[in-house]
Amino acid sequence: MAIVVQRQVILPWRQVIRIAFNSLKVRLFRSVITTITLALAIAFVAYTWSGYAMLNSLWPAADPDLQRIVLAKGYEPVGDQFGSSPKDRWLMFLSLLVAVVGIVNAQLMAVTERFREIGTFKCLGALNSFVVRIFVLEAMYQGFFGGLAGGLTGITFSTLSLGAKFGRPIFSNWPPAQMLFILSWACLLAVILSLLGVIYPALVAARMQPAVALRSEQ
């Protein structure tokens, strides 16, 4: 008797990328909400960190009067560095915590509300790896754009707020290289956290029996 069962082919990345991108585009409203949640969390991190970068850049160039004003506003350098006092460390930790919780939660929700779709994909012959790849790609797109938007927002706001407090010297001593560094970190952080939030529920969903995934409420 002839051969009965063969092995499913693995979908080329090109197709997976296309499907993931379309899925984001069509669900634009939902994906923008997720991305904004991500961006806000990252904005807080970028705001805190870029503030210290500007103060560190300003401090050596500032005249004693300005240095007094900075200290009077409650900023405390340790040695000559801002951002390493216990209070600052606590703030940085807090900003990271907000980002982790916000992003992981947003991605978790985004996957669980799509269990039925995952079940359908599997009925049509999707491999588990396809399901995981779709979500990983979507999370990476969202992480990157959310990180970029959040990073830019955070840096802009902290520049404006310090500029309002200390005036021109903030702008003339603005450290572009460090800001770029912070922006890159913000993007990377957003991508990593976004993946972290998506990977567990995506793995669980991908491994479910299709019948079980299909039963879940939409």
Partner 1 sequence: MEAQVNSLRPSEPQGGPAQPHNVVRLTEVTKVFKMGNNVVEALKGINLSIRAGEYLSIMGPSGSGKSTLFNMIGALDKPTTGRVFIDEVDVSQLDAYELAWLRCRKIGYIFQTFNLIQVMTAIENVTLPMIFAGMSRDEYMEKGLKNLALVGLADRYDHKPSELSGGQQQRVAIARALANDPAIVLADEPTGNLDLTTGEEIIVLLKKLSTERGVTIISATHDIKMLNVSDRVVWIRDGRIDRLEEREKLRISIGEVA
Q: Residues 104-123 vs partner 1: string with x where CB under 8 A?
A: ------------xx-xxxxx
User: What are phi and psi for residue 40, nearest 5 degrees?
Assistant: -65, -45
The least distance separating partner 1 from the CB of residue 4, rounded to whole angstroms, comes to 5
Please, which residue, 45 or 126, has the CB nearer to partner 1? 126
Single-letter residue type at 125: G
Please, which residue, 63 or 217, has the CB nearer to partner 1? 217
Distances (CA, A) of 167 to 36, 42, 136, 153, 161: 30, 26, 44, 20, 10
**Does residue 177 bind partner 1 (CB under 8 A)?**
no
**Does residue 22 bind partner 1 (CB under 8 A)?**
yes
The least distance separating partner 1 from the CB of residue 16, rounded to whole angstroms, comes to 10
Q: How far apart are CA 62 and CA 172, in angstroms?
A: 11
Return the residue of 17, 23, 33, 67 that touches partner 1, per CB under 8 A: 23
Task: Return the residue matching tokens 């006092």.
Answer: 85
**Does residue 212 bind partner 1 (CB under 8 A)?**
yes
Q: How far apart are CA 92 and CA 210, in angstroms?
A: 43
Distances (CA, A) of 33 to 30, 75, 103: 5, 35, 11
Nearest residue to 142 (alpha-carbon basis) of 107, 184, 182, 101: 107
Residues 122-141 that bind partner 1 (CB under 8 A): 122-128, 130
- Contact residues toward partner 1 (CB under 8 A) are 1, 3-9, 11, 15, 22-23, 26-27, 116-117, 119-128, 130, 209-212, 214
